[in-house]
Structure 1
Amino acid sequence: MKRKRRIHILYILAFLLAGCMLPSCSEEQDITPISGRNNTELAFSVNLPASSPGTYALTATDENKLAHVYVLAFKPEGGQYKLYDWAETGTIQDNGEISKKKFTVTFTRLKQNEAYRFVLLGNAKPEVDALFEGGTGEGVEKNTMLAQLQLSGITRWNNDPGSNGYRDIPMWGEASGDKTITPGLTVTGLKLLRMVAGIEVMVGDQAQPDFKLKTVHLYNSHQKARIAPDPVNLAAGSLSKVEKPTLAAGSNVVKGPLDYTVSNDVSLESSIYTFESEVPYENSIPVTNQMTCLVVGGVYGTDATPTYYRIDFVKQEDNNVPRDILRNHRYTVRITKVKGQGCQTAEEAFNAKAVNMEAEVIAWDEAEITGIASDGQYRLAVSRETFTFSRDNRTALGKDNTLTVKTDYPGGWSVEQITDGGNPVSWLSVSSAGGNSGSTDIKLILEENTGSDRTAYIYLKAGRLVYKVTVTQTTEAGIDLYIKDAGGNEISELFFREPIGVQPDAQKFALFWFPATSDVTVSSQMVGTTSFPLAPESDVPATFSNASGEIWYNTIFPTAITSADVADDPFMEKISRFDFTITNGQRYMMKSLFLRQATYNLIVTAADGFYHLDGSNYMFAIESNTGWRIKSVTDNSGLLALQGQDNLIPGTVGGNNISLTYTPIRFTVKNRPTDAVSGTVTVVLESSETQKKFNDVTVNFNLMGQIISPPAHKGWAGSNIYYDEGLGRLTFDDVGVTDHQYYNGVVFKWGSLWGISPNGSYSTNTSSGTRLYPPEGGTTTGGYAYGDIPFISDATNISDNRDRAYLYEVTDGNSGKGDICRWLTKKGYAPAGKKWRMPTSREFNGDYSLQTGDAANNAYGTSLVERGVNKTGAAFFPSSYWRNCSSSVQSNTTNDGSYYWTASPGVTNSYLMSFTPNLGGWIGGINIYHNTEGRCRAHAVRCVVE
């Protein structure tokens, strides 16, 4: 979609789109719709994070409780994903074990043979409901919506399931790839991630004789967090491995501390849950007094009272570099040695360096492991508890037979035995019989199965811990396909990022498949509006055969992004999808790799020059696909008069809001409407990310004392604004199109972006109330008192000016106020290729002729009204119904007038065009007047082309 801007389009010379990951889609992954009339019932199977088997504050069952799930369906559109439909779960069932769940949901708008991206939000119903109630709905971009789902004001996470205010831990998950709705498939393989991290503290065996743990204090934790991670903070090609924290906009650490009491002198488990946090740096040096850390209190030796010790979250394996706190991770802090007393108070310890205590910090990514065994001191974990293989043999070079074993037991782990439940087996073995403390990958070695299905068990041992892994081998022929990067990680995307004019370096990937004798078919297609431009020197994936199960593409890279690219589309993404398909004669499998090139960008759109010194509240808009912050505001002229609702102040933040949304920057100016004064306000914007993604940007805008009228319009719309049931949104017809010229149209209060049906008695009843048409599109029934519908009230004093398009200047989707024609242009709901606005009062001047005929009205404004006036050389204006300030419908019978709002303000009322008939019928004159029409009345709107 091409995007143009009227004023101030700023292109930041730092690139990369913080957009959604586009993982591979596999036809073997199951989607099963059972469609009735307009309903589509889908079954989902999800994997929950691994959980500690401890018996403290929260049990494994508590941590993995899934009480409710919202399933959101996003449709790919123009390189983005737009919300298309959503549904809620009913009963959620265990799916064989505590870490697996299954459920069904029913959608009402999904369509057969169309593809969607599914996002799951567990235990987040209040937050999702609040978004929907606030106007979020169909068409919102995926990452924009997810970024708004936040928890705030959480001083301390409640870890008591029986207490008031307790809530189950919110989780997020996303299906890999787009899923096409076809009969006979089911959505499987989804992983949910908890939005919190868990912290536990224990005293190691060697330290227990010298130290009794009494308290734990958590310093510098966040009280606000996002439920879903930002896609850029996930590992490349992964939807479950978090590499960086996702912080909520405007959130800062709160020193605290949060205090926890230890009852057994040895450990505090499953008690501390906290939001993500990142290590703060100044000049590449960690700021220790802002880092998330622990202070532990305990009794050393024969002391009578506790003393205190600071423990930082560091990576011992990386020279004790401080580590971020990541969601869905568990941090085990084990005190290994205490050599003397600590500080006298917790505050002293926080401000001091760690003394007289040694501790190790072990991070467990609970998305990478499915099972954990624990004895209260040590843990033994595996990446998979069960394997099911085809009949084919597996060797140490296999791609699907890797088992990861992780333990913190100092003596490491070993394979105790491999049996069929009683006797040793010969058909199954492992590439390594043991490993050291830490993480170890081993291969499962299997002989070809020429008999019947068989099962064996691998028993792993670490100290007193034992874990059983189940391996089943069937007699079915196998088929597998993997796309991996140079490090052996399975991927679904290669992402290229360089400034304008710089050709990115080449990347590489490999394709592995089984059976190795299968041919591989390759096809590609553009995603969105612009395909990925492979450079002439790049490898080009193409269909091939006889490659022995493995092929490498060592030089994949695009041509450079040009200035013309971003000038035409500021948030351009160039994406192509390559589909690789194999078959063994009985089944087939397809995996996809997305090649994506994008750019970070920021656009400042001024309110088209209408910054006038009349005491008004104005705004300009910022759109960006990365985080930004106002660094400074300079008003040397002293013409700003900021009020409480204004946010043109240093520290205001925003970002990730490019899909027909924006961050409004509001400011109020002094009242100098006739003075020949002017001034300039300078605003400096900076990247709010730790790693700066663009250089500081300076925006200058002028304030002037004289009101300036907009340029003459280029034509009247062909119809009033009406609701199109098929499109599900407000719209109107282009200049010269007369198909709907007799539509009566929906009605609007002055300065409101909320359409109101022009028929029937107004009701707030949600089942039979009046239809409303929110700014974000769609329709809602009732739920709003008439007085609560946003509009610019008579209490807002504005300079009287028939030539001024005031509503154009203040259009703001977040407030629901402004010029509805401009708003529909921004939403893409107006006739394409033009910019539209409401007319000024004086633009209604001209010659008119009266026309008689029938009149009617309905909820959508699509009834035919043939009575009205013809504006010479312009358009027909039907005599439409309207509502008064008490919400009552006013008809347009022969003795009643009809009205059209303009964008021009009076002081307390506003200008409109009025048809004024004589009592004998429609033979009277036409008048344009002001200051006799309250803004709370609702009238039709006709748009003009800028």
Structure 2
Amino acid sequence: MKKLIVVLIGIFIFISCTDDTGLSAESDKNNVEEAVPVKLVVTVPASVTYVRTRGANNYESLISEIQVLVFEEGKYVYRVPGLSISGTSPVTTFTVLLKSGNVPMKLLILANATDVLVTHEPVIGDCEEVVKKKLNRRFDNLTSHFPMYGEYELPRGLTTDKINTISGIKMLRSIARVDVTATEVTNFTLTGVKAYRANNYLQVIPNETGVSRVTLPSVPEGSDRNVDSTVFPVSQENQNIFSARLYLPETESPAPANWVSDATCIVVEGYYAGSDTPSYYRMDFDSDNERNAFGQVLRNHKYIFNIKKVSAPGWSNPDDAANNRSSSIVAEVQAWDDDTMDMYFDGEHHFGVSTRKVIFKHKAGSKGIIKVSTDLTDYTLQWADATGTPQGSGSQSLTGDYFTVEKTDNGSQLIITALQDNQVNGSRRVQNFVITARRWTILVSIQQEYDVTAYKTISLMSFTSGLGYLGTNILGSNNAESRATGLRGILINQANFGPNGVVECGGYNLVGVATSTNKLTDALFSLFDVVYVNYVATLQFGNEDARKVHNWLKAKKNRVLIVSYDGADVSQNLLSEILPEKNGMKYYISNGGPYPLASSTSENSYFTKDGPFTKGTPLASNFVLRNYDAYHGEIQMNTGASEGITPILMGPGGGIVLGIDYARRIVYWGDTDISSYLSGIGATNENHINNTDGTINNDASKLIANVFAWISETVLYGE
């Protein structure tokens, strides 16, 4: 019955989460009593200018107008302006008049964006995701105060029996800032900075919820990377520093094949080695692609391009520099999140930490990172009591019963690791330590909570019209397509995935959806944690469907996409959307033999020995999965199609039949019959899932269960 309720709630949300479904403004379901004045105190992102830059604006941290959008039980009901706005850095206070009531409320707070609200007024009954996507504006180099956003939840509603003051709300700017420094090079004089291919629209509110810093860009539908800035001059009095003048909207990373031509980038102008003519050099965001985000720009971040080396003259004009690979220049890019950088200055030194509170999931091995910005790399660490009184002597690392704190060699990060599980419901482990840097002592709190999200029910969508459809599991109904029944049994058996299962969670809710070419909606996809595009004909899953499911995947880091490529007639639009190139895809119409394990690596060992279903009982090194019939697909190795994919099972043609792109959270499923319990060609009792009740009794079932263990952990603990 619990699963039935969860699914029905999901279906209800889907039906009601549309632009044209209204909610009566006269509804009395929230027992409105009267308008209640509420005072809100918001923390405004700091503004730091390293030099007195002529022409620099003062818009970064100022709030001139406030609008509060009020949601009740997930639906938009009304908006109110902020009154009596008073700003004294780093906080701004204001008052709003809200309706009292006892239903859960959420406040979305917008600063400096009233014009956007007037143009794109939300409709009563809109869900949060719909409202966010509506509120966007053209990027015009922001010649007014910057739009900002914050949020606050009132889970028990709002009463009139107490003074209502809400503090601690952090605001995020809707744009990013770019600074350039060239103070470490002696053979180059910086004279100008220009941006290329910025997005022409920005979304005021990020897609991510409940965040103090974003991890993925939110880009309005239909926006283009077609805005080039002017060349901002850098005067000699600024000593090779360009600060607080160039601002950009969020931008996604383009496909790898289009990095040179499509990525947002910066071009610097300067004079190399005393030359009389200027040279131009391209610099890229995340140029080493360390975060799998080449060219990506995130809101509320300050990107500092620190030029470390210039080795030759550059291009003769900025356009040529922007349209070719970066060369002859080396720049370190620091992407600081201003909102969470707690900075201290004394005129001579500086010290900043990205957070003073680290909160862990309940699992042992959970890690947290504190970024440190300082010129004092000899700072020390000490455990401390609740009042912040240090204990013991200062050191470079700390080890306790529950946590370790390690300082990286250059002091730019502190890495905190949880040593034990916390499995006591309602409990919280707390340990404090202090950072001592000259005269500064900074208290940091580590907390590890019992994680209720570990008991989250995982919602998985598959499509009713295709082979491999997993069916639904409302009250145990069993309408899966025959080739999915082996996998279905593994997923709905709570000894595998359940509150007391091998993987602790609320279990899997399987939901079937009918295809509707290019008519699937963002609201529909938002209901699910996992989307399995099973053997669905290409004509039934169009380009727009592919784009929307890709946007759904990128919007949150705890979502997983499973893609079938069993035949040349399925998933072609989706593969075009997610793969850098499709030339490496190959489809087979003859059996050709079984699927052996890929060569053992640290990247795929989770599925063969380290995952929860193989702990202590690894797969046999010579394990092969049977090839059920004549049809399957392979991603050829060493091609653009295989880039970033870790192989698990290989095909008889030498390509990937089962693989995972960890960075993008995509599972590539090259044969629908991997999930089948049916015998097929060359079957033995060991080389395929051999039952429909989810019993893990051979290497094949262990392997597939480990794949979904990884999927489950990504949903539950992805950040």
Please state which band the TM-score falls in when normalised by the shorter chain: 0.5 to 0.7
Q: 1:19 to 1:686 in 2, by over 3 A?
A: farther
How far residue 418 of structure 1 moved from its aligned partner, in angstroms, is 9.6
Pair 1:210 & 2:187 matched: yes
Match of 1:355 among 327, 333, 341: 327
In the alignment, which residue of structure 1 is the partner of 2:370?
404
In the alignment, which residue of structure 1 is the partner of 2:94?
103
Report if aligned partners of 2:356, 2:445 keep a CA contact under 8 Å in 1. no
Which letter maps to 1:441?
Answer: I
Deviations 1:410-442 (A, max 9, x none): x9553289999xx98437977257433443234
Deviations 1:224-279 (A, max 9, x none): 222112x3xx3xx7534423322222221225342111122411111110111223
Counterparts of 1:244 and 1:559 in 2: how far apart (Å)?
A: 27
Counterparts of 1:126 and 1:40 in 2: how far apart (Å)?
A: 26
Q: 1:440 to 1:494 in 2, by over 3 A?
A: farther
TM-score norm. by structure 2 comes to 0.54
Counterparts of 2:148 and 2:103 in 1: how far apart (Å)?
A: 27
Q: 1:349 to 1:399 in 2, by over 3 A?
A: closer
After TM superposition, the structure 1 stretch with the greater mean CA deviation from structure 2, 182-191 or 37-46, is 182-191
Q: 1:504 to 1:316 in 2, by over 3 A?
A: farther
Q: 1:280 to 1:595 in 2, by over 3 A?
A: closer
Match of 1:370 among 341, 364, 372: 341
How far residue 326 of structure 1 moved from its aligned partner, in angstroms, is 1.3
Q: 1:127 to 1:403 in 2, by over 3 A?
A: same
Match of 1:115 among 104, 119, 122: 104
Counterparts of 1:42 and 1:565 in 2: how far apart (Å)?
A: 46
Report if aligned partners of 2:352, 2:374 keep a CA contact under 8 Å in 1. no
Counterparts of 1:70 and 1:535 in 2: how far apart (Å)?
A: 45
Which letter maps to 1:44?
Answer: L
Match of 2:174 among 167, 172, 195: 195
Report if aligned partners of 2:183, 2:239 keep a CA contact under 8 Å in 1. no
Which letter maps to 1:271?
Answer: R
Deviations 1:853-903 (A, max 9, x none): xxxxxxxxxxxxxxxxxxxxxxxxxxxxxxxxxxxxxxxxxxxxxxxxxxx
Which letter maps to 1:39?
Answer: A
Pair 1:279 & 2:215 matched: no
SS at structure 1 position matched to 2:322? helix
Deviations 1:280-316 (A, max 9, x none): 22xx413412221111111222223321111122243
**Structure number, greater radius of gyration:** 1
In the alignment, which residue of structure 1 is the partner of 2:62?
65
Q: 1:190 to 1:60 in 2, by over 3 A?
A: farther
How far residue 68 of structure 1 moved from its aligned partner, in angstroms, is 2.1
Report if aligned partners of 1:571, 1:599 keep a CA contact under 8 Å in 2. no
In the alignment, which residue of structure 2 is the partner of 1:9?
none
Which letter maps to 2:44?
Answer: L
SS at structure 2 position matched to 1:276? coil
Instruction: Please list, as runs of the form range in 1=range in 2, the aligned pairs for 1:705-744 lying within 5 A after superposition.
Output: none
Counterparts of 1:413 and 1:504 in 2: how far apart (Å)?
A: 59
Deviations 1:777-810 (A, max 9, x none): xxxxxxxxxxxxxxxxxxxxxxxxxxxxxxxxxx
Report if aligned partners of 1:417, 1:424 keep a CA contact under 8 Å in 2. no
Pair 1:435 & 2:408 matched: yes
Which letter maps to 2:451?
Answer: I
Q: 1:536 to 1:313 in 2, by over 3 A?
A: same
Report if aligned partners of 1:223, 1:251 keep a CA contact under 8 Å in 2. yes
Match of 1:483 among 442, 451, 457: 451
Pair 1:173 & 2:123 matched: no
What's the RMSD between the two structures over aligned residues? 5.5
In the alignment, which residue of structure 1 is the partner of 2:115?
126
Counterparts of 1:353 and 1:294 in 2: how far apart (Å)?
A: 12
Report if aligned partners of 1:406, 1:440 keep a CA contact under 8 Å in 2. yes
Q: 1:191 to 1:60 in 2, by over 3 A?
A: farther
How far residue 112 of structure 1 moved from its aligned partner, in angstroms, is 2.2
% same residue: 20
Pair 1:84 & 2:61 matched: no
Q: 1:436 to 1:412 in 2, by over 3 A?
A: farther
Q: 1:442 to 1:93 in 2, by over 3 A?
A: farther
Counterparts of 2:210 and 2:33 in 1: how far apart (Å)?
A: 36
Counterparts of 2:274 and 2:348 in 1: how far apart (Å)?
A: 24
Counterparts of 1:18 and 1:536 in 2: how far apart (Å)?
A: 29
Which letter maps to 1:292?
Answer: T
Pair 1:426 & 2:391 matched: yes
Q: 1:73 to 1:565 in 2, by over 3 A?
A: farther
How far residue 177 of structure 1 moved from its aligned partner, in angstroms, is 7.3
How far residue 215 of structure 1 moved from its aligned partner, in angstroms, is 0.6
Report if aligned partners of 2:39, 2:166 keep a CA contact under 8 Å in 1. yes
* Paired residues, number: 477
In the alignment, which residue of structure 2 is the partner of 1:252?
224
Q: 1:424 to 1:122 in 2, by over 3 A?
A: closer
Match of 2:142 among 152, 157, 170: 157
Which letter maps to 1:103?
Answer: F
Counterparts of 1:18 and 1:376 in 2: how far apart (Å)?
A: 58
In the alignment, which residue of structure 1 is the partner of 2:511?
561
Instruction: Please list, as runs of the form range in 1=range in 2, the aligned pairs for 1:381-392 lying within 5 A after superposition.
Output: 381-384=352-355
In the alignment, which residue of structure 1 is the partner of 2:298?
326
Report if aligned partners of 1:51, 1:371 keep a CA contact under 8 Å in 2. no
SS at structure 2 position matched to 1:298? strand
Pair 1:222 & 2:193 matched: no
In the alignment, which residue of structure 2 is the partner of 1:917?
none
Which letter maps to 2:40?
Answer: F
Instruction: Please list, as runs of the form range in 1=range in 2, the aligned pairs for 1:551-590 lying within 5 A after superposition.
Output: 554-563=504-513
In the alignment, which residue of structure 2 is the partner of 1:854?
none
Which letter maps to 2:120?
Answer: L
SS at structure 2 position matched to 1:87? strand
Q: 1:558 to 1:188 in 2, by over 3 A?
A: farther
Match of 1:39 among 35, 42, 45: 35
Q: 1:574 to 1:324 in 2, by over 3 A?
A: closer
SS at structure 1 position matched to 2:492? coil
Q: 1:434 to 1:558 in 2, by over 3 A?
A: closer
Deviations 1:186-245 (A, max 9, x none): 54553322110111100142x1x211111111111122222112x3xx3xx753442332
Q: 1:216 to 1:471 in 2, by over 3 A?
A: closer
Report if aligned partners of 1:42, 1:186 keep a CA contact under 8 Å in 2. yes
Deviations 1:432-470 (A, max 9, x none): 57433443234899xxxxxxxxx9964337xxxx86524
Q: Which structure shows the bigger proportion of residues in helix conformation?
A: 2
In the alignment, which residue of structure 1 is the partner of 2:652?
none
Match of 2:379 among 403, 411, 414: 414
Q: 1:504 to 1:296 in 2, by over 3 A?
A: farther
Stretches of structure 1 lacking an aligned partner (at least 5 in a row): 1-15, 21-34, 159-166, 446-454, 474-478, 506-533, 543-550, 576-593, 601-621, 630-652, 654-684, 693-946
Counterparts of 1:406 and 1:598 in 2: how far apart (Å)?
A: 38
Pair 1:142 & 2:113 matched: no
TM-score norm. by structure 1 comes to 0.42
Q: 1:428 to 1:180 in 2, by over 3 A?
A: farther
SS at structure 1 position matched to 2:115? helix
SS at structure 2 position matched to 1:180? coil
Instruction: Please list, as runs of the form range in 1=range in 2, the aligned pairs for 1:606-755 lying within 5 A after superposition.
Output: 691=578
Q: 1:398 to 1:148 in 2, by over 3 A?
A: same
In the alignment, which residue of structure 1 is the partner of 2:280?
308
Q: 1:93 to 1:317 in 2, by over 3 A?
A: same
Instruction: Please list, as runs of the form range in 1=range in 2, the aligned pairs for 1:507-546 lying within 5 A after superposition.
Output: 535-537=492-494, 540-541=498-499
Report if aligned partners of 1:51, 1:372 keep a CA contact under 8 Å in 2. no
SS at structure 2 position matched to 1:127? helix
Counterparts of 2:471 and 2:288 in 1: how far apart (Å)?
A: 35
Q: 1:19 to 1:342 in 2, by over 3 A?
A: farther
